Structures are given as structure tokens and as C-alpha cells.
A = this chain, B = another copy of it.
């Protein structure tokens, strides 16, 4: 089933598979099966096989998947093989945590620039990154930065997004609890922490298949 449109849900799961494969690889495992990987990450084995089938040429029937080739293949599909630089805007509580967050490196990301509006923070360093004045946010694409991370208060997030797009950013990870409008060709992924938590009580209290009125 090669040469097909890739389902969005498949793209969403690929990083999960990559995470699991990296975990096994770090543990010294050289090859795996759809069953082993599935059990590790909490999905079903056919889901993994189906997802990989959209790309073709992942495993060997009767044997399984070679981990290092699986990892490099998924990295290639997700365009993670080259490494990516990101600019962070907003060095408050959350922004500072993101600067110190080790997990970005798992997928080859690095925050190489940070911006804030607060005069007391500008010029200082946090986790090795110089905090620059948001007002002097110039072209970022010339600095090799193509991704932006927005960690400013809700009221400022659209302005910050506009500035980042103007600076040449093509992808945004938005932590502010607000929809952000961007031109075509720019992709936004929003993480609203509180909103994800807001789904829990629904699932916790009555269970899912209940009827309403």
C-alpha cells in the first residue's frame, strides 16, 4: 500500500513509535517485533504494522524490525534526521522549564534563542541560552531557526506568533490557551495543559458510554 496519502493519525503515532524504538535501542536491543513494540507503548501490534505499511519496507516477515534502521527510517519520514533549532519566546515559569527540559534532544531539537519583554531578564542567560529583547526579534531563518515556541501570556500570544512568522518561522508550538491564526504554509500545534486536564473528570466519573440529556 505504498504511494498513498499518509493518515494524520499515523503521523501522530510515528513519534510514539520512535520513542519506543529509542527506548529499546538504549537498552541494548538490536531488533524487535510489532508485538514487543506495541506492548511497550500501549497500542496493538496491527496498528504499528498498518502504519508502517503506508511507507513500505520497514521489516522482515518472520523476523521483525531492525531497530537502527527503523529509527533512521522514522527520523527521515518525520524530517528529524537533520536536527532543528527553535526559538523560545517568554522566559517565565513555563519558558524556563522548557529551556531546561532535556526531552527535546530526544528528537534532535535544540532551543538556541530565547526572547522576553522583561528588562530584568534581558541580557542574562538561562540554561546556557542568552535571553534577548523581544523588541529586537529580527530574522530568525538566517540564524538557522525555523521553529518557534510560544510561552507568553494569552493576551500576547497572537502578536508573538505574528512576529515569529515575520521572522521566517514555519512551525509553532503554542503553549498559550488560545487559538492562533497564521498564514497558509505555517503549522501551529497548541498544547493547552489545563485543557487536557479538563477532559479527565468526564472520563473519571461516569465512564464513557453513558447517555445524556
Known interface pairs A5-B209, A207-B185, A212-B2; A16-B195 also in contact (CB < 8 Å): yes
Q: Are A109 and B212 in contact (CB under 8 A)?
A: no
Q: Is A19 among interface residues, defined by CB-CB distance under 8 A?
A: yes
Q: Are B147 and A200 in contact (CB under 8 A)?
A: yes
Q: Is A103 among interface residues, defined by CB-CB distance under 8 A?
A: yes
Option from B23, B104, B201 in Cβ contact (under 8 Å) with A194? B104
Q: Is A196 among interface residues, defined by CB-CB distance under 8 A?
A: yes
Interfacial chain B residues near A106, Cβ < 8 Å: 177, 194
Bound together, the chains give a CA A3 to CA B212 distance in angstroms of 6
Task: Mark the stretch among A61-69, A72-80, A131-139 that contacts chain B.
Answer: A72-80
Interfacial chain B residues near A199, Cβ < 8 Å: 11-12, 14-15, 78, 189
- Give chain B nearest CB distance to A87 CB in angstroms: 13
Q: Are B103 and A93 in contact (CB under 8 A)?
A: no
Q: Are A179 and B93 in contact (CB under 8 A)?
A: no
Q: Are B203 and A187 in contact (CB under 8 A)?
A: yes
Q: Is A186 among interface residues, defined by CB-CB distance under 8 A?
A: yes
